[in-house]
Each structure stands twice: as structure tokens, then as C-alpha cells.
């Protein structure tokens, strides 16, 4: 980053102040409070500032979380959900973007907009809809796909083996169009002379994809993958509305945020265990960071090798 004009931090402060202020107030303070909360006993009066019965129990809540089988269940569910979604969405969106890229310009815009539509709907509203879709034997998926292909109808929402699959399908349905739009724009941003050179050299379509199109979206794909991972870990609305706040049959659709919510607020399981929930969410964050770091490391290694 050479050649940029140098300024002192103080000169730039007026421009940065709103961000820094909001960052401290609504991110740093909650984080510190979360750490503090996670060290308290679940029985202290943390909801009422007047009650000064705060009792610190050290790492008790963390130990409790680590001994909680449901926490591991939620963790592995979330992992499957995120990895499954990302691995399906990225290639699918790339293929769609390339297909769109070969269309005429006007058609391209209209089609891209149509594909974007699922990403704009409220997940809550769509889950209700999906419930009817996946519902029992009469669901559309069973009627149009599963039965015509000669399988037994699948009870999507009741069969523990298929709840996760329906959640992943919902996520694919939602995000693929958005990612396709991003990829398409990236492809349109590739300088025209790349394609002229390819034409002159008589590149085959496959090597055109490998040598021009994939490098064109590589950076964006990484960004999208990170975004989808974080969004997947933080996803709540879809699963919450689809499964009514529970984890579904045998907790096979229990995601982390839903579980945190269940532990913290009555209505879920009614435990009202805020310190436990805080400890749980704080343990998730470093795991996500470590996971992303690992993925990036592997990517760098693959590039070198």
C-alpha cells in the first residue's frame, strides 16, 4: 500500500468517529458484557440491576456447555448445514452465471433478476410455504419428484434423516440466485480483450472457463463463501419458523442460534439460563474463526502445491 497520502489518525478521526463509536457501543460493550455474563452463576439476578446478587462461578458455565450433548448436536448440525449449503451453492451459482453470461444482454438482466427473487423474500414467510411443500405425502416435492422417480414418499419434516436436507435445500434455494448475480457481474467485469485473445488462440470452451472465467470470480467466491459461512452459523429465522422454535424430531434440525435462544429465553425449553447461553455463543465465535482460518490456509497450500 505505497503511494497513498499519509495522514495522522487525528486528521481522519472525524470520518472514522461514527463507525468507531457505534462499534464500541454495540459490539465491544456487548462482547465484554457477554464475557462477564458467562462467568456468572445462572441463579444471579442479572436481569434486575437493583438486585446485587451477582455471583461469579468462574468457568462453570463453559464446563456445563462442554458436557451438554445437545450443544454438540447443534454444533455438528450447524457444521453440516453450513458446509452442505456452501458446497452446493458455489458451483451451482457459477454454472448458472456462466449460462447467463452466454445469453443476450436484455434476457440476461431479466433472468438474473428472476433468480434473485428468492433471496429477497422473508425467510419466515417462505418457511411457512416450505412447510406446506414438504408436508406429508401430498407435498409438491413428493408428488412431482420423489414418487415419479419411483421412491417411497419422504416425510420431510418428520423423518430425522431428512430435516437437515430440507434446511439445506431451503438455504440453496434462497442464496443461489444472489450468488449467481454476484458471479455474473464479476464475469461482466472481465476485460473484453481476454475473450478476444481466447478467440485468436482458439481456446476450447472448457479451457476458456478454466483460464478466464474461474480466475474472474475467484476472489468474489472466497468473499461469498465467508459470508455464507457466517450467515449460516448465525441463521435463525428459517429454521425457527420451519420447526416452530424446536429442534425438530430428535433435534436433528437444531441449529446453534436456535439452541442459544432456547437456553436463554423461556418458550424454548424455559430454562432462562442467560449465562449458559452467553458462554455458548462465545465459544462458537472462535470456532468459526478457526474454521475459516483453516479453510484459507488449505487454500493457500493448494495454490502452492
Partner 1 sequence: MSRLFSFILLLCFLIVSLYPFAWMFFSSFKTNKEIYQPAQLFPEKFDGQAYGMLLDGKFVDFGEGLWQSFFIAGSQSLLATFVSALVGFVLAKYSFRGKTFLIGAALIIILIPRQALVVPIFEWFNFLGWTGNSWSLILCGIASGLGVIFFTQSFRHLPDELIESSKLEGFSPWRVFRLILPLFAPGFVTYFLLHFALCWQEHLLALLLLDDNALTLPLTLAKLSDSSHRAPEAIGMAAATLSFIPILVLFGLFFGKMRTALSQLSLS
**Residues numbered 116-175 forming contacts with partner 1, rule: CB under 8 A:** 116-126, 128-130, 132-133, 135, 138-140, 143-144, 173
Stretch that binds partner 1, among 11-19, 56-64, 77-85, 160-168 (CB under 8 A): 11-19
Q: Which residues, 245 to 304, sit near partner 1 by CB under 8 A?
A: 257, 260-261, 264-265, 274, 277-278, 281-282, 284-285, 288-289, 292
Q: Which three cell numbers stand for residue 250?
A: 430428535
- List own/partner pairs for 127-136 with CB under 8 A and 24 or more apart: 127/170, 127/237, 127/238, 127/239, 127/241, 127/242, 128/241, 130/166, 130/170, 130/242, 131/157, 131/242, 134/166
CA dist., res. 153 & res. 291, Å (int): 37
Between 207 and 250, CB nearer to partner 1: 207
Query: Number of C-alpha atoms within 13 angstroms, CB side, residue 217?
Result: 26
182 binds partner 1 (CB under 8 A): yes
Q: Which of 6, 192, 303, 304 binds partner 1 (CB under 8 A)?
A: 6
Show contacts with partner 1 in window 213-232 (CB under 8 A): 216-217, 219-220, 223, 226-227, 230
Among 7, 210, 297, 299, binds partner 1 (CB under 8 A): 7
CA angle 184, 190, 191 (to 5 degrees): 145
Instruction: Report whether 252 contacts 164 (CB < 8 A).
Output: yes
Q: Report the residue from 55, 188, 196, 201 that binds partner 1 according to the rule CB under 8 A.
A: 188
Amino acid at each position: 500500500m505505497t503511494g497513498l497520502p499519509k495522514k495522522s489518525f487525528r486528521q481522519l478521526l472525524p470520518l472514522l468517529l461514527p463507525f468507531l463509536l457505534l462499534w464500541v457501543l454495540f459490539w465491544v460493550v456487548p462482547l465484554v458484557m457477554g464475557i462477564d455474563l458467562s462467568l456468572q452463576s445462572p441463579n444471579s439476578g442479572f436481569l434486575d440491576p437493583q438486585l446485587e446478587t451477582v455471583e461469579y462461578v468462574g468457568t462453570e458455565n463453559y464446563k456445563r456447555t462442554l458436557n451438554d450433548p445437545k450443544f454438540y448436536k447443534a454444533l455438528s448440525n450447524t457444521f453440516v448445514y453450513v458446509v452442505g449449503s456452501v458446497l452446493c451453492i458455489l458451483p451451482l451459482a457459477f454454472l448458472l452465471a456462466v449460462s447467463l453470461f452466454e445469453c443476450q444482454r436484455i434476457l440476461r438482466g431479466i433472468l438474473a433478476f428472476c433468480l434473485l427473487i428468492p433471496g429477497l423474500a422473508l425467510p419466515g414467510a417462505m418457511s411457512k410455504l416450505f412447510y406446506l411443500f414438504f408436508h406429508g405425502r401430498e407435498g409438491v416435492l413428493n408428488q412431482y419428484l420423489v414418487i415419479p422417480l419411483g421412491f417411497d414418499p419422504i416425510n420431510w419434516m418428520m423423518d430425522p434423516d431428512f430435516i437437515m436436507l430440507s434446511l439445506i435445500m431451503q438455504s440453496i434455494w434462497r442464496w443461489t440466485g444472489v450468488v449467481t448475480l454476484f458471479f455474473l457481474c464479476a464475469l461482466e467485469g472481465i476485460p473484453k480483450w481476454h475473450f478476444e485473445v481466447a478467440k485468436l488462440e482458439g481456446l476450447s470452451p472448457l479451457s476458456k472457463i478454466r483460464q478466464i472465467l474461474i480466475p474472474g470470480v475467484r476472489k468474489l467466491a472466497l468473499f461469498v463463501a465467508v459470508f455464507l459461512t457466517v450467515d449460516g452459523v448465525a441463521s435463525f429465522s428459517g429454521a425457527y419458523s420451519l420447526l416452530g422454535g424446536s429442534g425438530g424430531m430428535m433435534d436433528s434440525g437444531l441449529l446453534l442460534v436456535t439452541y442459544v435462544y432456547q437456553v436463554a429465553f423461556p418458550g424454548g425449553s424455559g430454562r432462562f439460563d442467560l449465562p449458559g447461553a452467553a458462554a455458548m455463543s462465545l465459544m462458537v465465535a472462535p470456532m468459526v474463526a478457526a474454521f475459516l482460518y483453516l479453510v484459507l490456509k488449505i487454500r493457500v497450500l493448494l495454490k502452492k502445491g
